[in-house]
């Protein structure tokens, strides 16, 4: 495994992480705080939602066809909206927030 350099979209801090995926060209680094303030850092949002389904309401996990013909759920869409630099970045979704690192 090699280390991959990623820049936090919130604060610009550079992180070096192990390349655990083969598709790192498409992967994005995520740093989210849950409603209790626990921070989760990971590379793949869909994998995070799928592997932590108990964190979300059942209704937010129902798959529906999105604009690009992909099937996504409300949990994915809600968390994705928290990423800084998105077209319309949300401040929070059901208590989840983007975790900003302090320099």
What would the pLDDT profile of 71-92 be if each residue is shown by its tens digit? 789 999 999 999 988 778 899 9
Question: Is 11 within the bounds of a domain?
Answer: no
pLDDT of 65:
79
Is pLDDT at 20 greater than 50 in this prediction? no
Cβ atoms of residues 80 and 87 within 8 Å: no
Is pLDDT at 53 greater than 60 in this prediction? yes
Question: Is 56 within the bounds of a domain?
Answer: yes
Integer Cα distance of 85 and 27 in angstroms: 16
Integer Cα distance of 49 and 18 in angstroms: 20
Question: Is 2 within the bounds of a domain?
Answer: no
Q: What is the pTM of this model?
A: 0.72
Question: Is 18 within the bounds of a domain?
Answer: no
pLDDT of 66:
67
Question: Is 94 within the bounds of a domain?
Answer: yes
Residue ranges making up the domain that contains 43: 28-98
Cβ atoms of residues 96 and 38 within 8 Å: no
Give the count of alpha carbons within 13 A of 12, CB side only.
Answer: 1
- The number of folded domains in the chain is 1
């Amino acid at each position: 495994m090699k280390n991959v350099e990623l820049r936090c979209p919130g604060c610009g801090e550079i992180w070096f992480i192990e390349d655990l995926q083969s598709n790192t060209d498409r992967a994005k680094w995520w740093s989210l705080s849950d409603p209790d303030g626990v921070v989760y850092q990971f590379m793949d949002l869909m994998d995070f939602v799928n592997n932590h389904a108990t964190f979300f309401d059942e209704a937010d996990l129902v798959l529906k066809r999105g604009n690009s013909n992909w099937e996504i759920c409300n949990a994915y869409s809600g968390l994705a909206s928290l990423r800084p630099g998105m077209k319309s970045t949300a401040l929070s979704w059901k208590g989840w927030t983007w975790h900003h690192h302090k320099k």
